[in-house]
């Protein structure tokens, strides 16, 4: 195999790139999107050939697909789609020394030689924590839903604050019921202890049964109670649960913008916000303007707007094209210092399998959302 000036192996032009995609099964429609996006990225002259292997939308199919790709001598694996499929395919790929650019956003799948390219909770929360601490916010809390997503957001917040040298957050997981959300929010805000002393004073004034007592009680009722112990609150619910949760923020005197509400990139979709009162809340996500040229190219090629999954498959194939023209598919080459300029902004592969991304920070207002901090255009920018 020829080498470049730095001595790194460069793959011959015929070394194919495998795409593990669900061409059959429950995710077959998604598989078609992945194939189209990868083909678009590899349409340039000199790009490596694409070897498409069907995962049949199952972990067992992914294991068979990766075995076929390794047997065919493919030098790099793109996909598979889901976390379960990635878990099934990662071991054989690692054992064969073939790097894998998976499409899942499950950070738990990250390991040396295996990179989940989906936008992860860790990437989002890291960006938000950086923006919030830059404004002097130091006390973080979280009220999160049960399940894997809530757990991932909780771990991301703890990790981001530890990396920033900030105090550990107060994290609560509600039970998913409306009553549980309300109870957990009340407890998190320490409402009883914040409100209790003032209520006792009002009661004592009224209990005098005098005009002066009634006057004092009326004045005391106007007194604001102390703020909660946190100045930043991370949420992760969507839809009706989110609307229910936010309806109690003011009730428990969690006032905005004194307390900055943060949330997931899912909130970029108005439907995910479910009519919740999120005025002033932040989320971190790719800047839609960054993908304008990709959207136009996809529309021109396939006659339809680029679906959500197309970006990650395109970026993975674009990495393959760049690597094939440069220093090869070895991890040291994929983890290049300058990173990559992807559809959703700049990102970098790290040697431990994690991925750092440059995301923008958006603020929600009555009419929608607007970027208040742009996505960094180079590594070393805020929140990467």
Could you give the strand order of the β-sheet that contains 100-102, starting from the edge strand earlier in sequence? 50-54, 17-21, 76-78, 100-102, 114-116
Supply the pTM of this predicted model: 0.89
What does residue 109 show for φ and ψ, rounded to 5 degrees?
Answer: -85, -10
Residues 17, 75: contact at Cβ < 8 Å?
A: yes
Nearest to 359 by CA among 156, 158, 123: 123
Spatial separation of the C-alpha atoms in residues 101 and 113, rounded to whole Å: 8
Parallel, antiparallel, or unpaired: how do β-strands 76-78 and 17-21 relate?
parallel
Instruction: Give the three-class secondary structure for 361.
Output: strand
* Distance, first Cα to last Cα, the chain: 35
**Helices 292-302/28-41 angle, 10° precision:** 110
Report the alpha-carbon angle 345-349-354, nearest 5: 105
pLDDT for the residue numbered 229 = 96
| Contacts with 176 (C-beta within 8 Å, 6 or more apart), sequence order | 145, 146, 241
Question: How far is it, in rounded angstroms, from Cα 159 to Cα 125?
Answer: 9
Task: Give yes or no on whether 17-118+290-353 and 121-190+228-285 have one common fold.
Answer: yes
* CA–CA gap between residue 8 and residue 324 (Å, rounded): 12
Domain map (residue ranges) of the chain? 17-118+290-353, 121-190+228-285
Could you tell me the CA-to-CA distances from 306 to 120, 321, 371 in Å, in that order? 20, 20, 22
Distance CA 344, CA 127 (A): 14
Q: Which of 43, 110, 123 is nearest to 321 (CA)?
A: 43
- What's the topology of domain 121-190+228-285? Rossmann fold (3.40.50)
What are the residues whose beta carbons fall under 8 Å from the beta carbon of 248, sequence distance 6 or more? 181, 182, 185, 186
| pLDDT of res. 220 | 66
Contacts of 99 (CB under 8 A, 6+ apart): 76, 77, 93, 113, 114, 115, 329, 330, 331, 334
pLDDT at 377: 87
Question: What are the pLDDT tens digits along the chain (384 aa)?
Answer: 333 333 344 445 458 999 999 999 999 999 999 999 999 999 988 899 999 999 999 999 999 999 999 999 999 999 999 999 999 999 999 999 999 999 999 999 999 999 999 999 999 999 999 999 999 999 999 999 999 999 999 999 999 999 999 999 999 999 999 999 999 999 999 999 997 776 777 777 787 889 887 887 787 677 778 899 999 999 999 999 999 999 999 999 999 889 999 999 999 999 999 999 999 999 999 998 889 999 999 999 999 999 989 999 999 999 999 999 888 899 989 999 999 999 999 999 999 999 999 999 999 998 899 999 999 988 887 888
Question: Which of 246, 251, 256 shows the shortest CA–CA distance to 276?
Answer: 246
| Cα(235)–Cα(238) distance, integer angstroms | 9
* Token pair listed for 351: 């040697």
Which phi and psi (to 5°) does residue 15 adopt?
Answer: -70, 115
User: In the CATH scheme, what is the homologous superfamily, with its name and number, of domain 17-118+290-353?
Assistant: Response regulator (3.40.50.2300)
Burial class (CB in 10 A: 0-12, 13-18, 19+), 197: exposed
What is the model's pLDDT at position 290? 87
The reported pLDDT for the residue numbered 106 is 95
């Amino acid at each position: 195999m020829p080498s470049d000036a730095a001595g790194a192996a460069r793959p011959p032009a015929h070394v194919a790139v495998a795409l593990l995609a669900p061409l059959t099964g429950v995710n077959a429609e998604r598989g078609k999107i992945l194939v189209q996006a990868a083909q678009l990225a590899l349409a340039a002259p000199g790009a490596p050939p694409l070897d498409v292997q069907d995962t049949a939308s199952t972990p067992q199919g992914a294991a068979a697909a990766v075995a076929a790709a390794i047997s065919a001598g493919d030098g790099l694996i793109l996909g598979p789609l889901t976390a379960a499929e990635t878990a099934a395919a990662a071991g054989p790929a690692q054992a064969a020394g073939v790097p894998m650019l998976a499409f899942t956003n499950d950070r738990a799948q990250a390991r040396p030689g295996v990179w989940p390219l989906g936008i992860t909770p860790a990437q989002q929360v890291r960006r938000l924590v950086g923006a919030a601490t830059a404004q002097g916010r130091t006390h973080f809390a979280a009220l999160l839903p049960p399940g894997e997503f809530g757990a991932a957001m909780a771990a991301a917040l703890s990790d981001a604050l530890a990396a920033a040298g900030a105090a550990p957050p107060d994290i609560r997981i509600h039970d998913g019921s409306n009553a549980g959300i309300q109870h957990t929010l009340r407890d998190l805000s320490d409402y009883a202890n914040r409100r209790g002393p003032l209520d006792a004073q009002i009661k004592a004034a009224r209990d005098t049964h005098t005009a002066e007592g009634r006057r004092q009680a009326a004045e005391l009722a106007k007194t604001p109670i102390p703020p909660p112990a946190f100045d930043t609150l991370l949420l992760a619910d969507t839809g009706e649960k989110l609307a229910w949760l936010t309806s109690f923020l003011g009730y428990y005197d969690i006032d905005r913008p004194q307390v900055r509400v943060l949330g997931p990139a899912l909130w970029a979709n108005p439907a995910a916000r479910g009519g919740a009162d999120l005025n002033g809340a932040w989320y971190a996500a790719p800047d839609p303007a960054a993908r304008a040229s990709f959207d136009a190219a996809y529309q021109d090629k396939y006659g339809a707007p680029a679906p959500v999954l197309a970006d990650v498959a395109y970026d993975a194939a674009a990495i393959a094209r760049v690597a094939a023209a440069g220093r090869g598919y070895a991890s040291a080459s994929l983890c290049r210092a300058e990173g990559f300029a992807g559809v959703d902004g700049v990102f970098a592969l790290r040697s431990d399998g994690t991925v750092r991304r440059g995301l923008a920070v958006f603020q929600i207002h009555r009419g929608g959302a607007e970027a208040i901090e742009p996505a960094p255009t180079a590594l070393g920018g805020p929140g990467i």
